[in-house]
Amino acid sequence: MIMQLQPNIIFIVEIIGTIAFASSGAMVAVRKRLDLFGIIVLGVITAVGGGMLRDLMIGNIPPNMFRNPVYVLAAFLTVLVLFLLSRCWPFRLGSRYIEGYEKIMNILDAIGLGAFTVIGIDTGVEAGYGDYHFLIIFLGVITGIGGGILRDIMAGETPYVLKKHIYACASIAGACLYVVLLQVTRSDSAMIGSALLVVAIRILASHFRWDLPGIDMD
């Protein structure tokens, strides 16, 4: 029963992450005043772009988003719902509700980042690259943050992961922990522990507004 439940749990977590990532992409598009097509493109690419980049890197052609489009469909429906809400009830996305919405999205986004990071590593291991630790860490990180980078580039902005709230670093920390744990424990335990670390770092960084130091040129 446990072995049957595990794929279902992973699938649910992936869908949660897909919804959160698609929502963030759609909101960026709305702020940029893009039309419906632009909102859909940014929402979908944010949700599945990281997995697409991962698959291209390891020669998994065509990428999973085309062979199993359930995540593309989930992202599309999420964007469509947000678009309809913003058109029919624009006050729902106003200042009165945006704080609660962002808190919920931050939690879901953290869950998605943790899930996509460890799934990216797991995909690399299953493809036969388990001994190439740097590669599978990179695969995990690019799966987690790649969609957001593509979103920001397409929106003409500096990628969020390069400037705000220890986003990529959370993914890197979880990916490194996963690789270490794989040497001493079962993959299931390593996956859960590493994903929880990513989620914890992201939520704490968002709540306390942790940022890495930069250089002030003013």
Average pLDDT over residues 160-172: 86
User: pLDDT tens digit string along 21-60?
Assistant: 999 899 889 889 899 999 999 999 999 999 999 999 999 9
The first and second tokens of residue 37, run together, are: 């097509």
User: pLDDT tens digit string along 177-208?
Assistant: 999 998 888 777 888 899 999 999 999 998 88
What whole-number distance in Å separates Cα of residue 9 and Cα of residue 24?
23
pLDDT given for residue 96 in this prediction:
58
Cα dihedral 34, 40, 42, 47, rounded to 10, equals 160
- Amino acid code (one letter) for 199: V
This prediction has a pTM of 0.88
Helix (H/G/I), strand (E/B), else coil: 32:
coil
User: pLDDT tens digit string along 4-13?
Assistant: 445 677 788 7
User: pLDDT tens digit string along 52-103?
Assistant: 999 999 999 999 999 989 999 999 999 999 898 878 776 555 555 666 667 7
**More confident position, 100 or 168:** 168
**Residue-averaged pLDDT of the chain:** 87
What whole-number distance in Å separates Cα of residue 144 and Cα of residue 121?
10
pLDDT given for residue 87 in this prediction:
81
The phi, psi pair for 200, rounded to 5°, reads -65, -45
